[in-house]
Amino acid sequence: MKFYVLILLLVTSAAHAFTYDCKVKKKLGENNVASDAELKKWQFSLKIHDLPKPRLERCSLETSKNRVTCDSYDVDRVVVDQNINAKKFYHFSSQFDVQLFRDLSFVENNGRGGIAFGKCEAKL
């Protein structure tokens, strides 16, 4: 099953809609690296909704609500990069992008000098 998910990852088609739940394993800022304790506390994650109208969600702990909440963003452009076997999702007004690789690893460029890395799980 995992092999077929990986093959379909780079196929852009309305017939194949996936959601990827992605957990941040490493987060780098301009002047800092998030510790394991910070990653655990803030529960950073990302959801990629690879649908006919793609959407991204950035999630983390909202302390005032004592739960994880997500901000949702419509994707302005999707590009399949055959050179690095990745699908790139761009949101222009917030100046961030997410690259999803065949092995379901991801890189998020948050547009403010920080990047996050991690692994995703595909869901139909």
Q: Write down the domain spans for the chain.
A: 2-123
pLDDT at 62: 96
- Res 10 pLDDT > 80: no
| CATH assignment of 2-123, among 2.40.128, 3.40.720, 1.10.1660, 2.60.40 | 2.40.128
What's the whole-number mean pLDDT along residues 72-97?
95
DSSP result, 94-109: TTEEEEEETTSEEEEE
Q: How would you list the strands of the sheet with 86-91, edge to edge?
A: 67-74, 55-62, 45-50, 18-28, 115-123, 105-109, 96-101, 86-91, 77-81
Give the chain's mean pLDDT. 89
pTM for the predicted model, two decimal places: 0.83
